[in-house]
Amino acid sequence: MKILEEGKLRKFVCACVTIMAFATASYAKDVSERLVDLQFAMKTHIEQSLIEGKYIRVNFETGETISLYPVNAHPMVFSLRENYVLCSKFTDDAGAAYLADFYLKPTDGGYEIFQVEIDNRAPLKNLIKSGLATRIKSDTKRH
């Protein structure tokens, strides 16, 4: 009763709410910055992998090379334990769409891509279905 009368409990609750608000804002900023860094790492990898403006891949059914052109990065980013998965869209010479999943690992200098799956969404879908890969949203905690 004495604490309530002196207003100490009210001040304590206000302080806790203020701290939580700053922590939440800080977390959202950290997540947003991480997403920007991840997108930058993927963009850099793609740009460094281009040969005469093309992202070259082999069609393992025909043995022919396929020239792909980056179109855009999807806003969806997934966490996979300590790693991440980012998605991007490419098109070929005929305009057919190819989805690419880039698997990134944190390093001392940022992030490095260690695996790319092009037009092979099944592995990522399986990771999501099993709960191993979860979507990260910039405005909320990991989902």
Beta-bridged to residue 101, according to DSSP, are 87, 117
pLDDT in tens, 70-120: 998 777 899 999 999 999 999 999 999 999 999 999 999 899 999 999 999
pLDDT of residue 142: 39
At residue 6 the predicted structure's pLDDT band, cuts being 50, 70 and 90, is: low
CB 53 within 8 A of CB 47: no
pLDDT in tens, 66-77: 999 999 877 789
Burial per residue of 104-133, b for 16 or more beta-carbon CB atoms within 10 angstroms, e otherwise: beeeeeebebeebbbbeeeebeebbeeeeb
pLDDT of residue 7: 54
The amino acid that residue 75 corresponds to is P
pLDDT of residue 139: 56
pLDDT in tens, 16-57: 444 444 334 334 448 889 999 999 999 999 999 999 999 999
CA distance 54 to 65: 11
Which residue matches tokens 């947003």?
Answer: 32
pLDDT of residue 131: 96
CA distance 46 to 72: 11
